[in-house]
Amino acid sequence: MKNKIYKIALVLGVFLFAYACNEDTFTEDSVAVVGSPSLTVTLDFNNSVTLVEQEATYGFTVSLSEPQISDVRVYLTQTGGTATDGEDFSFPDIVTIPAGALSMSDVISIHADDLVEETESVSINITSGKEANVNSIDGETISFTILNLTGGDLGVGLSWDMSNTTDDTGTVLSPTDFADLRLLIATAPSNADADVVGGADGGSCEAYTFTESQPDGEYYVVADFYAASDIVRDLDLTVTFDQTGVINGQTHMFPAVLNTASVCDAYYAVLAKFTKSGSSYSFEEIGANSFAVIPWTGIDATDAFACVGGCDSQITSSIDCTGTFLRGINANWMVGSWGETIEEEANVYYTDDGAGNITIPSQYIFTTLYSGSLYDYTISGTGVIDGTGTLTLQYYLDQEGFGVSEWMFDNGYMTTDYFEAIVSAN
């Protein structure tokens, strides 16, 4: 009888133990199976920060895709920079996600001191890699640039962003891996060496201290490429200004002001202008790049047909990595007087000798359609830009050895054997 009671009790005990294990509490007696979670790091701030030296904290959260039966440790490591751990900044070496939990939050702290120092920086990596069961890691590398400003100094910061972009392996590219930009301060709206008075060209987002000792006057904030990915994307740029006790993180945003389709010396963005007067500064947004299209108004070609008073100009000018160019030359005359439709059009590149003398070497300009046939044209010419900004251009069109303007002149339909455009830039 005792043996029978013992067997019943044993079966009941096993049943109760099995039932209890269905509600896992992730204690040391847990029977949950060890998973292979992914680890994600999310930030309460952008991963590249420029700030004036001050006491500040920056929060982050590390998360798992599924809870684990044991603690998961996430490691923080300084990977570069000139700032000193424990003096200029501090951070936890390890953040622990307890067994059964999905996330844990902590902070990185920036500290202030009374020392007069140069601009300092620090890069911190947040990742796992020491937990065998964590099979997918979406870590973060964070960069801080710490400006040490005095009275009349102006801190200028440049950062950038783009749409979600991945490389060939599917890895999401950070903005600073995608493109490397230069921050320039210039006395004119350009990136020419003769105009640049200072700048920054580091390995991440940029920061520059414009000192109070610089002369009063107007200065421009300019950005251009040092390098960029072959993937074509617009870049959204952000400029920040700081001045101790006066300006705190004044932010100006410039969406799609640069594009990685053009990476060359001629391509840059003029973002803002600031005017220095003693230790005071005023600011103006610009947000234009050097490849902007400029329309030229006026007349382009005169004849005895449809353009008796002169055809209205459709000419525009711009710059690309090849050079300066015009478009729209002869567009109204070709359609309105000559009666041919422009099917394809090319940039017409020209040179300027620096004194306003323009030369258009012979080159393809467009393909037209007439009575079902296509015709290729080339253009050549010369011109002058005078002191008022007016361009007077004399040019010729050639269609496989046939000179259009010469034919018009020989038959009394034009007063010159060349086309003449007289236009002014808007």
Given this model, what pLDDT does residue 374 score?
A: 98
Residue 375 has pLDDT above 80, yes or no: yes
Residue 9 has pLDDT above 60, yes or no: no
In 65-192, where do the E strands start and end?
Answer: 72-81, 89-90, 94-97, 103-110, 120-127, 136-138, 140-147, 154-161, 179-186
Q: Which of 132-141, 275-284, 287-296 has the lowest mean pLDDT?
A: 132-141
> What percent of the chain shows pLDDT beyond 70?
88
Looking up tokens 């010469």 gives 406
3-class state of residue 331 by DSSP: helix
3-class state of residue 309 by DSSP: coil
Given this model, what pLDDT does residue 390 score?
A: 97
Predicted confidence band at 16 (pLDDT cuts at 50, 70, 90)? very low
pLDDT digits (tens, 9 = 90+) for 300-310: 999 999 999 99
Quickly count: other Cβ atoms within 10 Å of residue 389's Cβ: 12
Predicted confidence band at 129 (pLDDT cuts at 50, 70, 90)? low
Distances (CA, A) of 253 to 136, 237, 242: 34, 6, 15
What is the average pLDDT across 102-129? 83
Residue 218 has pLDDT above 80, yes or no: yes
Of 16-30, 32-46, 397-411, highest mean pLDDT: 397-411
pLDDT digits (tens, 9 = 90+) for 240-281: 999 887 888 899 999 999 999 999 999 999 999 999 999 999
Residue 365 CA from chain centroid, whole number = 32
Residue 389 has pLDDT above 50, yes or no: yes
Residue 33 has pLDDT above 60, yes or no: no
Predicted confidence band at 322 (pLDDT cuts at 50, 70, 90)? very high
Q: Which two tokens stand for residue 241?
A: 């200004």
Q: State pTM to two decimals.
A: 0.70
Closest CA to 223 of 249, 261, 196: 196
What are the beta bridge partners of residue 22? none
What is the average pLDDT across 333-337? 97
What is the average pLDDT across 382-411? 97
Q: To which H or E segment does residue 2 belong?
A: helix 2-21
Residue 6 has pLDDT above 50, yes or no: no
Given this model, what pLDDT does residue 82 score?
A: 87
Q: Which two tokens stand for residue 377?
A: 């044209």
**CA atoms in the 13 A half-sphere facing the CB of 290:** 22
Q: In angstroms, rounded to a whole number, what is the distance separating the alpha carbons of residues 383 and 331?
A: 18
Predicted confidence band at 70 (pLDDT cuts at 50, 70, 90)? confident
Q: Which of 11-25, 44-58, 326-340 has the lowest mean pLDDT?
A: 11-25
Residues 58/44, Cβ–Cβ less than 8 Å: yes
338-373 core/surface letters (b: 16 or more CB in 10 A; e: else): bebebeebebbebeeeeeeebebeeeebbbbeeeee
Phi, psi of 10 (to 5 degrees): -65, -45
Q: What's the mean per-residue pLDDT of the chain?
A: 88
What is the average pLDDT across 332-336? 97
Given this model, what pLDDT does residue 7 score?
A: 44
pLDDT digits (tens, 9 = 90+) for 165-199: 877 777 778 898 899 999 999 999 999 999 999 99
What is the average pLDDT across 224-238? 95
Q: Parallel, antiparallel, or unpaired: how do β-strands 294-300 and 324-327 relate?
A: unpaired
